[in-house]
Amino acid sequence: MSRIKYKCYTRWNKDHLICLCKVGNPACDRYKTCEIEEFEHEQFDDIKGCMKHRKYKKEHGVVKQI
């Protein structure tokens, strides 16, 4: 499995992720108020389990599924 890195804009409401856009997204008009985060994942590693999660939160600078 290969590891893929993404740079994304994120907006948070305290510790809860409310918006995530890939850097360079032409549809995002709020990027000036966002933080840039870098995400890394193994391609296709347990994709079905990952898609079951609907909520995410930020803990110590790390995005986690809840």
- For 17, residues 6+ apart whose C-beta sits below 8 A from its C-beta are 10, 11, 56, 57, 58, 63
How many separate domains does the chain show?
A: 1
pTM of the model: 0.53
pLDDT, one tens digit per residue, over 26-48 is 888 887 888 888 888 776 656 66
Residue that has been written with the tokens 């907006």 in this structure: 11
Q: Which pLDDT band holds residue 22 (cuts at 50, 70, 90)?
A: confident
Average pLDDT score over residue span 46-61: 71
pLDDT of residue 28: 83
Host domain of residue 55: 3-65
Assess contact for 17 and 63: CB atoms under 8 A: yes
**Token pair listed for 50:** 């990952």
